[in-house]
Amino acid sequence: MSQTLPETIPASRFETIADTIAEAARELSALGWTPATSSNFSMRVDASHAAITVSGKHKGKLGRSDIMLINLDGEAVGTDARPSAETALHTQVYRHWPGMNVVLHTHSRTQSVASRLYAADGAIRLQGWELQKAISGYSTHDSVLEIPVFPNTQHMPELVARVDAWLDAGKPLHAYLIDGHGIYTWGRDMAETQRHLEALEFLLGCELDLKKLRAS
Amino acid sequence: MSQTLPETIPASRFETIADTIAEAARELSALGWTPATSSNFSMRVDASHAAITVSGKHKGKLGRSDIMLINLDGEAVGTDARPSAETALHTQVYRHWPGMNVVLHTHSRTQSVASRLYAADGAIRLQGWELQKAISGYSTHDSVLEIPVFPNTQHMPELVARVDAWLDAGKPLHAYLIDGHGIYTWGRDMAETQRHLEALEFLLGCELDLKKLRAS
Amino acid sequence: MSQTLPETIPASRFETIADTIAEAARELSALGWTPATSSNFSMRVDASHAAITVSGKHKGKLGRSDIMLINLDGEAVGTDARPSAETALHTQVYRHWPGMNVVLHTHSRTQSVASRLYAADGAIRLQGWELQKAISGYSTHDSVLEIPVFPNTQHMPELVARVDAWLDAGKPLHAYLIDGHGIYTWGRDMAETQRHLEALEFLLGCELDLKKLRAS
Amino acid sequence: MSQTLPETIPASRFETIADTIAEAARELSALGWTPATSSNFSMRVDASHAAITVSGKHKGKLGRSDIMLINLDGEAVGTDARPSAETALHTQVYRHWPGMNVVLHTHSRTQSVASRLYAADGAIRLQGWELQKAISGYSTHDSVLEIPVFPNTQHMPELVARVDAWLDAGKPLHAYLIDGHGIYTWGRDMAETQRHLEALEFLLGCELDLKKLRAS
């Protein structure tokens, strides 16, 4: 893939961002959360651009040339590469929250199974776990952390509309699941976003384990 | 093992293929999908030959001399090594689909358990998982991906006949399970075949998890 | 973080302790027992000081500057860094048992789930496992190893008081769980404490597995 | 530990054996099958001696000095180190089968849980799994592989007597579980014994998974 940058974006900045994404992707791949070339990761470059992984690559083996530039309408900038259809869900985050700079979307087995199990409820409510405090803004295990589960669709505008509707209803949103699919979460920087993702994977896994054990 | 190549097969081509098989075998062994020297892997060399792993070796420690040449009748070519009985299931794929160039057969715990659980049904039907799209030809989670489960036997012609019968019935086939045994899948190249195998392992694991949780 | 040491503590001693903590933290992080920057680890330096991990860092990536000095009242010594609120639970161990020199607190999924499941009972009783012998003082699988589960709170003095009440009742204590949170355990040196932690994680995992299987 | 060898055992032979044991121990430790310094491993040196791991060491970090020489009565030879009480179970294998040269005893979670679950039955019967063929002498999934589960005791002569009674009854024996404890298995060389151990771990895991799923 060949990438030409706008004059306002120094090559060194794009390279640092691409390397940060590729390193996080290697870590998440090693955890088994990106099976079969799934998942995509992005990082804001400036007020109107982001860098995002191209589709269909093994996420443990990404190089700089597997990260492309897009604008916040989700269109490719300075490259012939075609961004993933799911790009719209990344740019929605960057447009909605000027302070959010990283979006991670993964497909772990726990995430996929939890999304199927709670799809009919429309959300999974987490309460009583100390690790809820790993989500920025939460300071006690007594709080309720609600993660919506949206129906899956191959038509991205429907998903964008569902996320917008949730936000328009004034409900807090730190992450969402898509039924049978995976999770989206975000943060101010890569460290915070990885912490959110790790915490959510852990909490979903705990919740599923507890459900099995309480039935036994 | 000593391997003499036909004049039509350059040594460099055979070595590249052997190295590709050995590298994939190391990755699959590290995932724990090849326990106790089980599993075998092959790759087409030309219209009438394939390279396949010899039996009984630890799949994480294969070298070039652990890969042998066979013809598409499953007979050893240019070597005294004896191919595995299961070679017939590999050559069946190469004879049936001229475009398929890699066959991977593994024995993960998930694959073995799923095969026992669905043996009586004769197949496992996957639907509603985004990762079904990792199988070439599938473009939506709404599709149905059916994986047959054939009875196990130590007599390979019976298994070959069951696969033929499935194909003769005109049903799509991207992989199959053998009861209490493991999975076979294939693809146009190693990357596609590894993607198929990773996706199938993931989907079977999700399906088993969901079954346990829905009962709880 | 800048750390000034009292004259009575040689820099080399503090560095050895910090390196020992950081190495153990890397091992525990690799096992997945410190998700999302959780968990904290400490080691006694002398009769009135201990070294402890600072809050909020990825436990797989700690350096010497991520370990700070505290006194046994849990106050920072020679640094502006603020110790974690949970420091009080570490210093309680050092004050109570002059022979105990290491405290490890982790948050594995098994630990968190077990704590929720047995919170209503107030304790989990382990019996019949050979690995109970890995806890110092236990010489047979026939013994009973009781691990209390205390209610979680963000107010540390409550937790300190519950631990004190258990000890005042004269009951043996080698570790405790906090509901929805994780485990605390300790020992005479790092090797013993890691052995205790590994054994407890194993025993809790076995107990949960057995509970699921006996119900099936 | 200091080790003096009898004149009949060349240092190079003992070192090769010690290195082989230490390497296998590292592999088994990395799989998590030797928690909290548990497990022990041995290898025959000649008709009347074996080398065995000393007690209480982390099995991922063994060096040559952590392997000691014993005679087939289980007594230390040429060293002050005290062999583990469980040494009697290793030497029993070497005395009973002159062709067996390696004994591996591990404590995985699957092994421990399976032993508790099937203790009342006195044995676990495996049938229908292709991987049974990884046990030397088995050539079909249709065979029955019976693994006895003996009651645990801290008094080794009782266990030795139970194993003898099983053998005296003329039943085949390739491995046994001890209730709440772990597994013993053996073979002609390290590769065969590791293959047996891997296969047994896999088969026990499959059997437990299937039991949970069939109940759901």
pLDDT score recorded for residue D174: 96
Which residues, 6 or more positions from B202, have their beta carbon under 8 angstroms from its beta carbon?
A: A35, A36, A107, A109, A112, B131
pLDDT score recorded for residue B56: 86
pLDDT score recorded for residue A85: 84
**Spatial distance between the Cα atoms of C19 and C21, rounded to a whole number of angstroms:** 5
Name residue C126's beta-bridge partners: C145
Amino acid at D123: A
Q: Tell me, yes or no, if A209 comes closer than 8 A to chain C by beta carbon.
A: yes
Percent of chain B with pLDDT over 90: 94
Residues of chain A with pLDDT below 70 are none
- Cβ within 8 Å, pair B107-D210: no
- Cβ within 8 Å, pair A109-B209: yes
Total number of residues shown for chain C: 216
Closest partner CB to C113 (pick from A134, A199, A206) = A206
Chain mean pLDDT for chain C: 96
pLDDT per residue over C91-148, tens digit each?
A: 999 999 999 999 999 999 999 999 999 999 999 999 999 999 999 999 999 999 999 9
- Cβ within 8 Å, pair A131-C36: yes
Query: Taking the model in full, what pTM does it have?
Result: 0.96
CB proximity under 8 Å: B 118-177 to A: 128-131, 134, 139-141
User: Does residue B174 surpass a pLDDT of 80?
Assistant: yes
Average pLDDT over residues D174-190: 98
pLDDT per residue over A35-73, tens digit each?
A: 999 999 999 999 999 999 998 899 999 999 999 999 999
Amino acid at D76: A
CB contact burial A50-62 (16+ within 10 A = b; e otherwise): bbbbbbebbbbeb
Q: How confident is the model at residue B126 (pLDDT cuts 50, 70, 90)?
A: very high
Which residues, 6 or more positions from B122, have their beta carbon under 8 angstroms from its beta carbon?
A: B148, B149
- Cβ within 8 Å, pair B215-A211: no
Look at strands A144-150 and A123-127 and give their pairing: antiparallel
Query: What's the gap between Cα B84 and its chain centre?
Result: 14
Chain B residues lying within 8 Å of A36, measured CB to CB: 131, 134, 195-196, 198-199, 202
The percent helix, strand, coil of chain B (3-state, each to 5) is 40, 20, 40
Q: How confident is the model at residue B166 (pLDDT cuts 50, 70, 90)?
A: very high
User: Does residue D216 surpass a pLDDT of 80?
Assistant: no
pLDDT score recorded for residue D106: 97
Q: How confident is the model at residue B215 (pLDDT cuts 50, 70, 90)?
A: confident
Name residue A147's beta-bridge partners: A124
**Spatial distance between the Cα atoms of A215 and D19, rounded to a whole number of angstroms:** 48
Average pLDDT over residues B51-69: 94
Q: How confident is the model at residue D67 (pLDDT cuts 50, 70, 90)?
A: very high
CB contact burial D65-89 (16+ within 10 A = b; e otherwise): ebbbbbebebebbbbebebbebbbb
pLDDT score recorded for residue C56: 86
User: Does residue B200 surpass a pLDDT of 90?
Assistant: yes
Percent of chain C with pLDDT over 70: 100
Q: Tell me, yes or no, if B112 comes closer than 8 A to chain D by beta carbon.
A: yes
Chains with at least 3 CB pairs less than 8 angstroms from chain C = A, D
Q: How confident is the model at residue B94 (pLDDT cuts 50, 70, 90)?
A: very high
Q: Phi and psi at residue B40, in whole multiples of 5°?
A: -150, 155
> How distant is the Cα of D107 from the closest Cα of chain B, in angstroms?
18
Q: Tell me, yes or no, if C30 comes closer than 8 A to chain D by beta carbon.
A: no
Closest partner CB to B213 (pick from A152, A154, A208) = A208
Q: How confident is the model at residue C25 (pLDDT cuts 50, 70, 90)?
A: very high
SS (H, E, C) chain C: CCCCCCCCCCHHHHHHHHHHHHHHHHHHHHCCCCHHHCCEEEEEEECCEEEEECCCCCCCCCCHHHEEEEECCCCECCCCCCCCCCHHHHHHHHHHCCCCCEEEEECCHHHHHHHHHHCCCCEEEEECCHHHHHCCCCCCCCCEEEEEEECCCCCHHHHHHHHHHHHHCCCCCCEEEECCCEEEEEECCHHHHHHHHHHHHHHHHHHHHHHHHHHC
Chain D residues lying within 8 Å of C128, measured CB to CB: 116, 152, 179-180
User: Does residue D42 surpass a pLDDT of 80?
Assistant: yes
Chains with at least 3 CB pairs less than 8 angstroms from chain A = B, C
pLDDT score recorded for residue A133: 95
Choose among B84, B91, B119: nearest CA to B186. B91
Chosen from D154, D155, D210, D211 to mutate, greatest number of chain C CBs within 10 A? D154
Chosen from A84, A109, A152 to mutate, greatest number of chain B CBs within 10 A? A109
Query: Residue D93 corresponds to which tokens in the numbers above?
Result: 């294998």
Closest partner CB to C130 (pick from D109, D152, D212) = D152
**Spatial distance between the Cα atoms of A120 and B210, rounded to a whole number of angstroms:** 14
Which residues, 6 or more positions from B109, have their beta carbon under 8 angstroms from its beta carbon?
A: B32, B35, D202, D205, D206, D209
- Cβ within 8 Å, pair C109-A215: no
Q: How confident is the model at residue C90 (pLDDT cuts 50, 70, 90)?
A: very high
For D157, the enclosing helix (H) or strand (E) is helix D156-168
Average pLDDT over residues C202-207: 98
Ranking A102-106, B41-45, B211-215 by mean pLDDT, the lowest is B211-215
pLDDT per residue over C168-179, tens digit each?
A: 999 999 999 999
Q: How confident is the model at residue D1 (pLDDT cuts 50, 70, 90)?
A: confident
Chain A residues lying within 8 Å of B216, measured CB to CB: 211-212, 214-216
Chain mean pLDDT for chain D: 96
> How distant is the Cα of D12 from the closest Cα of chain C, in angstroms?
31
- Cβ within 8 Å, pair B129-A37: no
Query: Residue A135 corresponds to which tokens in the numbers above?
Result: 């989500």
pLDDT score recorded for residue D215: 84
